Amino acid sequence: MNCLFDQGTEDVAEHDDVREMARDYASQMRAFQPDGPYHLVGYSFGGIVAFEIARQLSASGVAPGMLVLVDTPSPYPSPAEEPHDCRQEERPRQD
């Protein structure tokens, strides 16, 4: 098991949106492990990123082995809306 996450250091690229973040993480995954299967787990916002990684892998002809989303909100607020910029203000917590 390997864990990819934005460590917030100067040597980590800043991502402008979820698609870019997923593209970067998928690239890191494939550099570490060139061939699948790729089993993905995402918690909360990380689930949105994991979903996008799985979508991008599928689009490139690589089927993810497993995708597990834990406490993940829908990446699309409604079916008609596009994915949002990950730098948007934080949504209020719903406890």
Backbone angles phi, psi at 54, to 5 degrees: -60, -40
- Average per-residue pLDDT for the chain: 78
Model confidence, pTM: 0.68
What does the pLDDT look like over 13-28, one tens digit per residue? 677 888 999 999 999 9
Of 79, 72, 37, nearest to 57 by C-alpha is 37
Catalytic residues: 44
- Which ranges of the chain would DSSP assign to H, the alpha helix? 18-32, 45-59
- Tally of CB atoms within 10 A around 71: 10
pLDDT, residue 52, reads: 93
